Amino acid sequence: MNRIILAYSHHNADLARHIDQQLSRIGIPFEHTSERLPGELASHIAGSGEPALILITDNFLKDRACMTGMLSAIQSIPQQHPLLFVVADGVNEQGQKVETHIDRMVNALQYMNFWQNAWLDISAQYQQAEGIEKQVFEAELDAVRTIANQVGDFISLVRDRSYVTREQLESDDYVIFFVRFGLSDWHGQYRRLVAQSGENQQIVEPPHLPEMPLSSGLLAPEPLETPELSPVETLLPEPEPVPEIMQATKPMSVEESPAENQDAEVEQAIRDAHFWLDKGYVERGLELMQLAAEQYPDNERLAAENKAVRSHFQVAEQPVEETPAANHTATPADNSNEAKSYDLMGDMAAGKGDYLFAKYCWDRVVELDPDFSGIYRKLGLMTSEHLQDYRETAVHYLNKALETNPLDAPVMMALAQHSLQNGAPAEAKTWYDRASSIDETLRSTENDRLFLPPQPEVVPVTIQEPEPVPTPVEVATPEVPAEEKPAAPLVLITGATSGIGKATAELFARNGYRLILTGRRVERLVALKNSLESEFGSDILLLPFDVRDSGAVEAALTSLPEAFQNIDVLINNAGLAKGFSPIHEGSLSHWDTMIDTNVKGLVYVTRIVAQGMVQRRSGHIINVGSIAGKEIYPNGNVYCASKAAVDALTRAMRYDLFTYNIRVSQVSPGHVEETEFAINRFDGDAERAKIYNDFQPLTARDVADAIFYMASRPPHVNIQDVYMFSTQQASATAVNRNGR
Ligand code: NDP
Ligand code: 8X3
């Protein structure tokens, strides 16, 4: 390694210098790049073949010079290439801090809006301009539209690749940095130097990086006072040759012909549109497709694709106009269309359980059109039911809804609930009386018990606690005085965004465990965290990563906050099947996905978590295997092999770990519903995925019960394997499909 590129927006030069000063103590040569010309930064990162640390800040995400070409640049860099995104606060023109967040969908939307607004501004200027100036604006419009379309994807990409916040980086003495760049051996040396020079030492001299020779490997640090420290050169690893795969990295397409450029842009636009369509954001996907069609009205591929998706979603085709700017100057009438889009996006988000994002979308509807029909009602009922942290806002929405329809009984019932929660039972009774006088079906014994105050002679008013939900297994918690109670056990579940993983998260949360929840779909993780926190008061850390990316796994698991470092139970659940073909017809990409996720992902995670367990001489690893790991079935080939590997690994890990007092178990279920397993296996083909209609399979909760059973046995008991089917299944191929 000759140097590490330190890339940032020029607004964040101070922060870049600070990082440099910290790390150049051991002679790491950084090459600062904050080019101001659009696209230079991106092509430098992609073209240099050097490792790169990229500072993602609010400034970066709003800077045209930084964002131009950045998505394709990062996409062109192989996964294995050492790349670290550090998310840090930005600064505004007054030098004040501007927080940067990228962990939720809403955050990406904020930047999409920023770039869309920039596009609208330029578009207004374009309309006023004439002659050569008009051409300049036209080029700008193009560039900004591309960024507006790509910024969401770029943020997703940063989330998918390994990223850390500045705080995480610093709180752990930059260990993630050293790990990510293959310099782990250097961390101890670095710490010693920091201790030597004093943590809080002000470094007055700015580093003089531009003069650093780039071919001599890492440089020696400033002369050290400590005689016992060896000179740095002798300790540094040999400079690593640039791997071939990196040398082969395609440079930016500066020499592509205009036709190739157009093709590339069209392909990108189609990919962008499908990204949103696949995620269920149909309006946005169609909008992107339409914009591209307007940009390239003669492109047949685009026209056909636009037509196909519109007919698929049964949306009428829109006329394509040649001038990109003409269609897109914001007018008050656009507000109502935009409000409709946000309303639809909110519906879809709520349908998927992403309530925070639904709230965000519907709040935008209110901003755009406060008279939008039914919007306050939707906001009020959804927020009341799903977002406990927004109770006051919910009451505001509900009251606004009553202004439009003063006889809305469900809204009154929601207000009755809020009154109860706010300790106002008399007010709750009034709302309940009013609601049930409008809709008498609301009057029930259950509601009477809840909302009607007890008789005068009965004991003082008590608000009925909800019935404790029976748990399948009782956890034996020793009686200890409250203040001495040890922290609840901590469970890490991979693949907690759906199916078995999600059901397992719910069961452990219900039983008071603390949780680290992982998976790639961040919005799902956030929604699950919110609901478990509000229902059970759970203590939850979200840790989104792709188990196939060993760098991301390592970065995530080695940067856990202190309170979440001692994992008691690891549940290796993330996994999937892809395809159902005989061996000679299988798809290489399906096979890679299964092996990378089910086998390699499992060992990447286990390796790191097991290290902590070994140190503490305690822990429990539970692998989610399958019937497919015990017996094969036609067309199951690679999935069966991957689960057979899980079965073998479970037994092998048991041998490796039992002397360290670590338990290793497995659950091996047959068919399980309430999961996305079948729909994923058949690549979204809902018809083929109907494999549970004619018999009763296990449910995700049944498997969660088994996992919980294993985890809650006394410490001297290790359940090796729970091999389980529904009653109507006797083996992989013997299923009684005579109806449920
Ligand atoms: P789901 O598809 O509902 O859940 C799979 C989970 O794995 C999701 O949370 C998904 O999260 C996560 N996941 C998939 N790929 C990755 C990845 N690359 N990185 C991180 N997380 C990933 O299916 P199930 O609940 O059925 O599957 C859970 C486990 O149960 C799997 O190991 C499966 O093989 C096994 N199993 C399933 C059976 C069934 O019939 N359903 C029967 C026997 C075993 P996200 O997409 O958000 O990343
Ligand atoms: C999932 C069960 O039978 O589809 O592991 O392989 S099966």
Domain range list for the chain? 4-117+147-191, 268-315, 365-451, 490-724
Find out whether 129 and 90 touch, Cβ atoms under 8 Å.
Answer: no
Would you identify the CATH topology of the domain 490-724?
Rossmann fold (3.40.50)
C-beta 500 within 6 A of ligand 1: yes
Amino acid 559: pLDDT: 87
Amino acid 333: pLDDT: 56
Amino acid 466: pLDDT: 44
DSSP state of 575: -
Find out whether 567 and 516 touch, Cβ atoms under 8 Å.
Answer: yes
Find out whether 276 and 284 touch, Cβ atoms under 8 Å.
Answer: yes
Amino acid 281: pLDDT: 64
Ligand 1 pocket, mutate which of 161, 502, 515, 573 (most atoms under 8 A from CB): 573
Centre of ligand 2 to C-alpha 670, Å, is 6
Amino acid 157: pLDDT: 87
Ligand 2 pocket, mutate which of 500, 573, 626 (most atoms under 8 A from CB): 626
Q: What angle do CA 608, 614, 615 make, to 5 degrees?
A: 100
For the chain, residues with pLDDT lower than 70 are 1, 105-106, 162, 198-261, 272, 275-276, 279-281, 283-284, 316-335, 337, 341, 348, 352, 453-486
Ligand 1 pocket, mutate which of 279, 672, 679, 682 (most atoms under 8 A from CB): 672
Amino acid 665: pLDDT: 98
Would you identify the CATH topology of the domain 365-451?
1.25.40
Catalytic, out of 126, 639, 692, 723: 639
Q: What is the pLDDT of residues 224-235, one digit of tens each?
A: 232 232 222 222
Amino acid 672: pLDDT: 98
Centre of ligand 1 to C-alpha 690, Å, is 17
639: annotated active-site residue: yes
Has domain 4-117+147-191 been given CATH number 3.40.50.10140? yes
Q: What angle do CA 419, 423, 426 make, to 5 degrees?
A: 65
Amino acid 257: pLDDT: 41
Residue nearest ligand 2's atom 6 by CA: 628
β-strand pairing of 721-724 with 4-7:
unpaired
> What residues form DSSP beta bridges with 572?
623
C-beta 137 within 6 A of ligand 1: no
Question: Which residue's structure tokens are 């939900």?
Answer: 469
Residue 227 CB: number of other CB atoms within 10 A?
6
Question: Which candidate, 588, 569, 575, places its Cα nearest to that of 515?
Answer: 569
Find out whether 43 and 252 touch, Cβ atoms under 8 Å.
Answer: yes
Name the burial class of residue 322, with classes exposed (0-12), middle (13-18) and buried (19+) by CB atoms within 10 angstroms of its CB: exposed
CA distances for 449 relative to 27, 421, 439, 440, angstroms: 72, 15, 18, 16
AA identity, residue 361:
C
C-beta 546 within 6 A of ligand 1: yes
CA distances for 718 relative to 492, 620, 621, 653, 668, angstroms: 18, 9, 10, 13, 15
**What is the number of the ligand closest to the CA of 574?**
1
Find out whether 309 and 328 touch, Cβ atoms under 8 Å.
Answer: no
Name the burial class of residue 616, with classes exposed (0-12), middle (13-18) and buried (19+) by CB atoms within 10 angstroms of its CB: middle
Q: Angle formed by the axes of helices 637-657 and 602-616, to 10°?
A: 10
Query: What phi, psi does 151 have (nearest 5°)?
Result: -60, -35
Name the burial class of residue 393, with classes exposed (0-12), middle (13-18) and buried (19+) by CB atoms within 10 angstroms of its CB: middle
Q: Is-same-fold flag (4-117+147-191; 490-724)? A: yes
Centre of ligand 1 to C-alpha 547, Å, is 11
Ligand 2 nearest atom to the CA of residue 670, by list position: 2
Centre of ligand 2 to C-alpha 181, Å, is 39
Ligand 2 nearest atom to the CA of residue 678, by list position: 4
Amino acid 205: pLDDT: 33
Amino acid 139: pLDDT: 83
C-beta 7 within 6 A of ligand 1: no
Rounded Cα distance, 198 and 87, in Å: 26
Rounded Cα distance, 456 and 179, in Å: 68
DSSP state of 463: P
SS3 455: coil
